[in-house]
Amino acid sequence: MEKKAIKSALSVLAMALLMFMPSLTAQGQEPVSSNYGGVQIGAITYSFRSIREVDAVLQACVDAGLSSVELMGTGIENYLGAPKLTVSRRKIRSGNLTDEEKASLENYQKEIHVWRYSDETMGKYVALRKKFNDAGVDIHIYKWIAGMSDEELDYSFKVAKTLGAIGITTEIGEETCTKVGAAAQRAGMVALFHNHFQYADEDFDVDKLLAMSPANRLNFDIGHYFGSTGKDPVAFIEKYHAQIASIHLKDKTAKDNEVKGNANMVWGKGETPIKEVLLLIQKNDWPIYCDIELEYKIPEGSDPVKEVAICREFCKQILQ
């Protein structure tokens, strides 16, 4: 065997061994549970957005006391050894590419396709799931899609299923509710649609979007809903609970707040009815994941891990 081939084989073996090693924090410790009174409290890993490396993100989840997460897929393929795109995505979107850049992009597209559809790559996703699970963290939702073609969406749901997720979340809209919903249905999973300020539009028709596929569900952000519309998220959840698979928790001021409307606040300082939402879900035993999304300014002397832990404890005190 040539030296180059030997080096490549050893590199693959080393990665496989690394992926299957449990987190140091998990060794010799009983996994924690962030299920309180029957309500699963997790977080979207966007809350740790200043932490880039995947192992460090997992450690942040463990240190914050979380037993489930909505995992952001940004950087996961690179972490698993995918071919790297050398042309900036902004340049690609502009369409103003040199011949050399066009050739580089074409070569990358061929390489990434081969990489994505190899058994070895799926094995790496199996190992990544095991790494999270061994640390006591379940991946219940995956926030990432490879692209909007049927082939790319089918691949994305295959990855999400391999990671143990119930489905993929993305922004709500006609195109996503049609295409991503159809792909979720093909995969026997769900498509979860997140909101920012869409509900503030009087013409926004959530019923129409949900009806585009039986696999469509809501990833309902109570803070964005409350802050942009001024309406009660409790009433919304009561009406749509059967079609809500998860919610994002954050505290905001009301739309018509005299000082500043729709502003992110330290939990307990805003006006979003987090307590009422959690108690409603608990009382009815609805299977809705409740995920912290840390968006307020981190106080001096603190960090994202400490603040997510504080938000988790906030939920715990309500539910127990």
Question: Domain containing 123 — which CATH number?
Answer: 3.20.20.150
Is residue 5 situated within a structural domain? no
In a domain, 18, yes or no: no
The whole domain housing 144 covers 31-319
In a domain, 242, yes or no: yes
Position 222 in a domain: yes
What are the residues facing 221 on neighbouring strands? 248
Tokens of 4: 């180059």
- Structure-block tokens of residue 51: 């932490």
Residues in contact with 168: Cβ distance below 8 Å, sequence separation at least 6, in sequence order: 141, 142, 143, 144, 145, 156, 157, 160, 180, 184, 189, 191, 192
Res 76: pLDDT: 97
123 domain-assigned: yes
Determine, yes or no, domain membership for 4: no
pLDDT recorded at residue 19: 40
For residue 15, the model assigns a pLDDT of 41
* Distance in angstroms (rounded) separating the CA atoms of residues 46 and 135: 19
167 Cα distance to chain centroid: 10
Look at residue 56 in the predicted model and tell me its pLDDT.
97
Say if 218 falls within a structural domain: yes
Question: Which residues are CB-contacts of 112 (< 8 A; sequence separation ≥ 6)?
Answer: 77, 82, 83, 85
pLDDT digits (tens, 9 = 90+) for 158-199: 999 999 999 999 999 999 999 999 999 999 999 999 999 999
Report the C-alpha gap between 15 and 44 in whole angstroms. 26
Q: Count the domains in the chain.
A: 1
In a domain, 9, yes or no: no
Centre a 10 Å sphere on the Cβ of residue 274 and count the other Cβ atoms it contains. 24
Q: Mean pLDDT for each consecutive 10-residue tract of the chain (320 residues)?
A: 42 40 48 94 97 96 98 96 91 90 93 97 98 98 97 98 98 98 98 97 97 98 97 98 98 95 97 98 98 97 98 97
